A and B are shown apart, each in its own frame.
Chain A
């Protein structure tokens, strides 16, 4: 009965967040495409955001949600700059495979 009153246990949300983060790390490791690697990083950011929202809900503290807001802003800026870098790299190397982009110099 207490289970029903407390809705879904927050533990499940936190576990979902941890699993999403791990999937993001695995994607970062196994993907060979620069854009997909970047997407995995976005997935990790989203997983962390979820746990921020869960803790904000648990403590009834609005600052957690504001933290997520700032993470979103910084992630948007990061995505813009990162994709610009990817375009620049593709223009020079003509490939997106991370195995071929392993030297800083041309």
Chain B
């Protein structure tokens, strides 16, 4: 408990270096940790290992989603993708989003998906390569898109690392839940309240659409 308070004070001082907030949270005495010389290197390799592990899980899950023919298998691999993405969010210092990702996506949304798959008794589908329009226009478009985006990202690599270096030296910690909630509930209070209205409308709409509307429609079918 004391360690957590220390960590919060430490965060509020905005005195964060290249260390990551989740590592800081898990350690009991952050300033002592920073003073040792070897720690950043060890953290960096750990970050590297975790990144490769969970990026691999992510890609494997996404490819498996495409490969599987049964919808329930696709849904389960999508859960793998979302959970690995939550770990990547942790690595990027977004703890709140990681937890929200697990609760909202891997929890609520995917339960909805698996529930609908089971409710509709969706069966195995044959593996296809898409329609003619998809193979003629879609796949070249995807390849071109990926190539363009990858080129832009790789070209901007020097730019990225330059800005990163500047940002980390005078770091105002973006991972802090305190900062996030302050912005969310002060500056963006109206959009936040509007999302609650949106959710309410979505719930009502879902109930209204999915409700069985009399027996004449089904009898006619």
**Which residues of A are in contact with B by a Cβ distance under 8 Å?**
2, 4-16, 18-20, 22-27, 29-33, 35-36, 38-40, 42-43, 46, 49-50, 53-54, 56-66, 68-70, 72-81, 83-88, 90-92, 94, 96-97, 99
Contact = CB atoms under 8 A, between A and B. Distances in A.
Contacts of B63: 23
B179 interface: yes
A34 to B, nearest CB: 8
A77 B199 contact: yes
Nearest to B134: A29
B85 A49 contact: yes
Contacts, number: 247
A46 B105 contact: yes
Q: Is the interface of B mostly helix, strand, loop or mixed?
A: helix
Contacts of A27: 62, 65-66
Contacts of A6: 18, 44, 161, 164-165
B59 interface: yes
A25 to B, nearest CB: 5
Contact of A69 (B100, B108, B205): B100
Classify chain B's interface size. 35 or more
Pick the most buried of B63, B134, B153: most chain A CB atoms within 10 A of its CB.
B153
Q: Which of A10, A29, A79, A99 has the most CB of B within 10 A?
A: A29
Interface string B188-218: 1001000100110111011101101000011
Given A66-B188, A96-B122, A22 B145 contact: yes
Given A15-B153, A31-B66, A84-B205, 6 more contacts: A6-B164, A33-B125, A46-B85, A53-B89, A88-B209, A96-B120
- 8 cross-chain pairs, A with B, having the tightest CB-CB distances, nearest first: A77-B202, A84-B210, A84-B206, A29-B134, A84-B209, A23-B62, A29-B138, A7-B47
A68 B97 contact: yes
B219 interface: no
B150 A76 contact: no
Contact of A11 (B58, B157, B198): B157
Contacts of B89: 50, 53
A16 B174 contact: no
Contact of A70 (B156, B173, B191): B191
B55 A72 contact: no
B184 A69 contact: yes
A23 B55 CA distance: 14
B74 A26 contact: no
Interface stretch (B4-12, B24-32, B75-83): B75-83
Given A7-B44, A80-B202, A94-B221, A12 B122 contact: no
